Amino acid sequence: MTRAEEMVTTVFWTGYSPIAPATVASALVCAILWFVPQALTLWMIIPLVILTIIGVWLSNRFIDGYSVIDPGKFAAVRRKNPKRDDPDPVVFDELVGQWIVLLAAPHSMIGFGAAFFLFRFFDIFKILGANQLQKLPRGWGVMLDDVLAGIYAALVLYGLNSWQPELLSAF
């Protein structure tokens, strides 16, 4: 894996954060897309499908060269049993999943905050089939559970925004 591929796969090296790398990556995606509202149109679904396929390939490349390492002084706050098939540094799946949710978010602080927390909720708890998707082989399992988490969070956000549009549009 080249250094450029590693930078993309780890979303500018946020995947190497000693604490909550997926959460750090999701926050970075929110911050970047806040300043690029053109990337938050429904036309972005096609590029997101392409990015998902690229993410499968990048995840496979990372997994091939990955070995589980001792977290050292961060052992108390890191996952006790790191997964070889879904390594913590691979957070490209968070980029795609968080971006999906942001497609349904109004461009407001509350809207982006709700998108962030809903995505993290669905990504962490892996409900309604996401856990089964994570069991798919290698890069497919890495990517598709987060895509589904993003879709679930987007549906909740869309429903909330349809029911109470002023709630998410403030600020």
Quote the pLDDT of residue 169.
Answer: 78
Task: Please choose, from the candidates 20, 47, 149, 29, the residue with its C-alpha nearest in 3D space to the C-alpha of residue 92.
Answer: 29
- Length of the chain as a residue count: 171
Task: Please choose, from the candidates 26, 19, 14, the residue with its C-alpha nearest in 3D space to the C-alpha of residue 113.
Answer: 26
CA contacts within 13 A on the Cβ side of 91: 23
Q: Which range among 73-87, 116-130, 146-160 shows the weakest confidence by mean pLDDT?
A: 73-87
If you average pLDDT over residues 66-72, what whole number do you get? 63
pLDDT of residue 20 exceeding 70: yes
**Two tokens, residue 101:** 């949710």
Quote the pLDDT of residue 57.
Answer: 96
Quote the pLDDT of residue 82.
Answer: 55
Beta-carbon contacts of residue 44 (< 8 Å; ≥ 6 apart):
99, 103
| Contact between residue 1 and residue 62 where contact means Cβ atoms under 8 Å apart | yes
pLDDT of residue 74 exceeding 60: no
Q: What distance in Å separates the CA atoms of residue 158 and residue 92, rounded to the nearest whole number?
A: 24
Which amino acid is located at 80 in the chain?
Answer: K
**Dihedral in degrees, nearest 10, Cα atoms 138, 143, 148, 149:** 110
If you average pLDDT over residues 42-55, what whole number do you get? 94
Q: What distance in Å separates the CA atoms of residue 98 and residue 5, rounded to the nearest whole number?
A: 20
pLDDT of residue 23 exceeding 80: yes
Quote the pLDDT of residue 65.
Answer: 84
Percent of the chain with pLDDT over 90: 66
Quote the pLDDT of residue 131.
Answer: 84
